[in-house]
């Protein structure tokens, strides 16, 4: 008898899907890649030809009605994450939803509730959550040995300005698109919501919340577009929900205008009442100062393990086959969306504070 395989569909055949998710599924012997879905017939045909997928659809509901599928990877434009993931969850599928989970806090809560009601896992596509360095940092912070968190700071600056200009070919030599690049989607707020915040700071906020377990309460933010249609630089301040007597506070900031050849910065600093932790995600370096004054240093990981692009797809397969837990759970994705939703509203109103509870 043949071993059971996870039957998976991929919805969205753009740059990241054809670079990360589809190749990961094709490499996994425990997967049957059942179908590809994309509203754009040309992009769909190119992806299907590149990876040898016979069944293609331009409507996710048609695919769900005609195919037997256990799980789906949703990698469409940010603005359509909600509707596509909702359809897949309501059909009883386990789902990977790429980052940012959705654009609005109420949509994030709704998807989480549907997944729970259906008894299905909703995995958010944050590859850094799967590295042993991130998990080690999380275990240390959440063990309580450093005491209560008082302040967090996270800087993520990266090379995306040409994407935000709609000029994906400027980065073709850097990323070597196996099928096609993202086109102008990241430059269009109707498709992507915001710019650097929704494209990149979602990673850094996600990593910080994954490690710390914090949840935002009140957010204030300033963003600048520098002539683009979407934000290029973001400065977000957060007061978190109190876990003890006092609430922690923190900042998330960065720019998308790192030049070609510069790896950029992705640094998380967590200051606690009895020690501190520093996590350099780009280089997979962990530093901890403990209450007794001793220091812990770990990393770096091998270069190929620092950003495991295959991990969300592999996690979906393990969840479907009952041999693994959700490694990037929806709860973290929901908390990220809460902060980003509040941040964009705050920035649009001149930095006025926004209480997250008012968005839900």
Residue 1 clears pLDDT 50, i.e. is over it: no
Residue 93 clears pLDDT 90, i.e. is over it: yes
- pLDDT for 3 equals 59
Q: pLDDT > 70: what percent of the chain?
A: 99
Digit-coded pLDDT (tens) for 308-348 = 999 999 999 999 999 999 999 999 999 999 999 999 999 99
Q: Helix 105-118 crosses helix 81-90 at what angle (to 10 degrees)? A: 10
Residue 205 and residue 209: Cα distance in Å, rounded?
6
- pLDDT for 2 equals 47
- pLDDT for 327 equals 98
Q: Domains in the chain and their CATH numbers?
A: 6-127+311-326 (3.40.50.720), 129-306+337-359 (3.30.360.10)
| Average of per-residue pLDDT across 212-228 | 98
Across the beta sheet with 295-298, the strand order is: 295-298, 285-289, 275-280, 265-272, 149-157, 249-255, 233-240, 216-224, 354-355
Residue 243 clears pLDDT 90, i.e. is over it: no
Digit-coded pLDDT (tens) for 45-88 = 999 999 999 999 999 999 999 999 999 999 999 999 999 999 99
Distant-in-sequence, close-in-space partners of 340: CB < 8 Å, separation ≥ 6? 100, 103, 194, 197, 198, 201, 202, 205
Are the beta carbons of 103 and 278 closer than 8 angstroms? no
Residue 261 clears pLDDT 90, i.e. is over it: no
């Amino acid at each position: 008898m043949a071993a059971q395989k996870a039957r998976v569909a991929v919805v969205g055949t753009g740059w990241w899907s054809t670079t990360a998710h589809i190749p990961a599924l094709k490499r996994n012997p425990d997967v049957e890649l059942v179908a590809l879905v994309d509203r754009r017939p040309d992009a769909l045909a190119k992806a299907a030809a590149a990876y040898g997928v016979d069944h293609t659809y331009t409507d996710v509901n048609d695919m769900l009605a005609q195919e037997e599928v256990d799980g789906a990877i949703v990698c469409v434009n940010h603005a359509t994450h909600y509707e596509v993931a909702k359809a897949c969850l309501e059909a009883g599928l386990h789902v990977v939803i790429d980052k940012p989970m959705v654009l609005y806090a109420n949509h994030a809560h709704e998807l989480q509730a549907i997944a729970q009601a259906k008894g299905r896992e909703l995995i958010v596509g944050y590859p850094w959550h799967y590295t042993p360095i991130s998990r080690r940092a999380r275990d240390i912070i959440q063990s309580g040995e450093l005491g209560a968190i008082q302040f967090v700071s996270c800087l993520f600056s990266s090379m995306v300005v040409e994407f935000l200009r709609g000029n994906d070919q400027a980065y073709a030599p850097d990323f070597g698109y196996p099928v096609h690049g993202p086109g102008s989607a990241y430059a269009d707020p109707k498709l992507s919501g915001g710019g650097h915040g929704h494209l990149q700071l979602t990673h850094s906020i996600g990593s910080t919340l994954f490690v710390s377990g914090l949840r935002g309460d009140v957010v204030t933010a300033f963003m600048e577009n520098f002539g683009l249609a979407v934000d290029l630089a973001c400065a977000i301040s957060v007061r978190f929900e109190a876990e003890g007597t006092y609430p922690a506070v923190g900042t998330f900031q960065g720019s998308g205008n790192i030049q070609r050849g510069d790896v950029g910065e992705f640094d998380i600093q967590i200051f606690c009442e009895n020690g501190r932790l520093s996590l350099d995600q780009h280089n997979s370096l962990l530093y901890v100062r403990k209450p007794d004054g001793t220091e812990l240093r770990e990393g770096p990981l091998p270069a190929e393990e620092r950003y495991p692009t295959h991990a969300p797809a592999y996690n979906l397969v393990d969840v479907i086959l009952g041999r693994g837990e959700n490694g990037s759970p929806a709860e973290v994705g929901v908390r990220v969306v809460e902060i980003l939703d509040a941040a964009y509203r705050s920035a649009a109103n001149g930095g006025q504070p926004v209480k997250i509870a008012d968005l839900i």
